[in-house]
């Protein structure tokens, strides 16, 4: 009984190791410009002076001074506690302003919710603001609450009683049966313990198949699942949404994601509505980049509208 109680007490933390291990392997990556060429590297490889690109939906990999930006908005709740996104700028600010109130310094861990920009790394690792906060919090001793201490004492008492009663029952049973079939008696005891280890084994086997679950009770429903619905094409595998089919004017264009290229030979005004409106919206909202394969590479921002979204003309559909 004592072994069984101890095993069941460790099921949840051990089974969660597979889930915790996955995010540790997925290191944060960032887009850095080195030798005039954008490169995607791990954030831990950044050094002071690197030029990084700030993109919508990405977190800032280090403290950086914003050099150039377009409608840049950052969510800095992990640093300042403000839930609302803050507008950032590349303009200089007076030295008297607190660094936390500065609008041209992006902090590590901040989330870019709109716009994009270019910044130079000024602090990395534990030298960043979030790194210093983490150092202060982790350096404090982990004090247990009174309830945790009482629960720990109660569990120890249960384990002691289980071991005592189990030993007494085992000895009495041995004398009653004249110590016959002892291996069978031990096997029966360990079989009960093995049942409690099943959830942990399931989590490890799923992890070996690259399946990670936060709640093990979800596994029970997998056996009766007939259809598993996933997100759009490429969202889970490449983190990129891909257009695969296009239907327009009673004509279906398929296999767009298999490498086929559609050349636009006419201007937007030559297309009929609503296709012209759709193309105009796609042109304004796209973030296409021109990649120069020659030796000379021009560093430029992605295609973004010059005006604020509120100032754009309304597109009727």
Q: What residues act catalytically?
A: 231
CB neighbour list of residue 289: distance below 8 Å, 6 or more residues apart: 302, 303
Q: Buried (b) or exposed (e) across 191-212, using 16+ Cβ within 10 A? A: eebeebbebbebbeebbeeeee
Strand partners, 39: 32
Whether the CB-CB separation of 124 and 46 falls below 8 Å is answered with yes
CB neighbour list of residue 18: distance below 8 Å, 6 or more residues apart: 203, 204, 206, 207, 212
Q: Is 70 helix (H, G, I), strand (E, B) or coil?
A: strand
CA dist 270 and 279 (Å) reads 11
Give me the half-sphere count of Cα atoms (radius 13 Å) on the Cβ side of residue 12. Answer: 4
Q: Can you give 239-293 as a three-state secondary structure string? A: CCCCCCCEEECCEEECCHHHCCCCCCCCCHHHCCCCHHHHHHHHHHHCCCCCCCC
Q: At what angle do helices 2-9 and 11-25 cross, to 10 degrees?
A: 30
Eight-state DSSP code of residue 165: H
CA dist 158 and 197 (Å) reads 20
Does residue 12 have a cis bond before it (omega within 30 degrees)? no
CA dist 181 and 68 (Å) reads 80
């Amino acid at each position: 009984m004592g072994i069984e109680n101890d095993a069941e007490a460790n099921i949840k933390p051990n089974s969660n190791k597979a889930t915790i291990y996955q995010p540790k392997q997925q290191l944060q990556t960032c887009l850095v410009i080195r030798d005039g060429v954008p490169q995607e590297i791990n954030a831990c490889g950044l050094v002071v002076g690197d030029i990084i690109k700030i993109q919508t939906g990405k977190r800032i990999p280090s403290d950086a001074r914003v050099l150039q930006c377009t409608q840049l908005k950052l969510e800095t709740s992990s640093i300042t506690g403000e839930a609302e996104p803050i507008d950032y700028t590349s303009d200089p600010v007076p030295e008297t302003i607190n660094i936390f109130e500065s609008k041209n310094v992006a902090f590590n861990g901040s989330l870019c919710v709109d716009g994009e920009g270019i910044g130079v790394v000024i602090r990395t690792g534990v030298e960043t603001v979030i790194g210093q906060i983490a150092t202060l919090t982790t350096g404090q001793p982990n004090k247990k609450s009174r309830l945790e201490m009482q629960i720990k004492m109660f569990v120890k008492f249960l384990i002691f009683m289980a071991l005592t009663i189990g030993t007494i029952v085992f000895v009495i049973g041995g004398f009653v049966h004249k110590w016959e079939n002892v291996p069978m008696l031990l096997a029966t005891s360990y079989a009960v313990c093995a049942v409690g280890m099943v959830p942990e084994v399931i989590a490890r086997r799923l992890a070996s198949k690259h399946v990670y679950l936060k709640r093990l009770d979800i596994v029970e429903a997998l056996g009766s699942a007939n259809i598993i619905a996933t997100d759009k094409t490429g969202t889970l595998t490449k983190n990129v949404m891909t257009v695969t089919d296009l239907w327009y004017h009673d004509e279906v264009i398929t296999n767009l994601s298999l490498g086929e290229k559609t050349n636009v030979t006419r201007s937007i005004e030559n297309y009929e509505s609503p296709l012209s409106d759709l193309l105009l919206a796609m042109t304004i909202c796209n973030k296409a980049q021109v990649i120069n394969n020659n030796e000379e590479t021009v560093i430029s921002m992605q295609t973004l509208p010059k005006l604020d979204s509120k100032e754009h003309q309304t597109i009727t559909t």
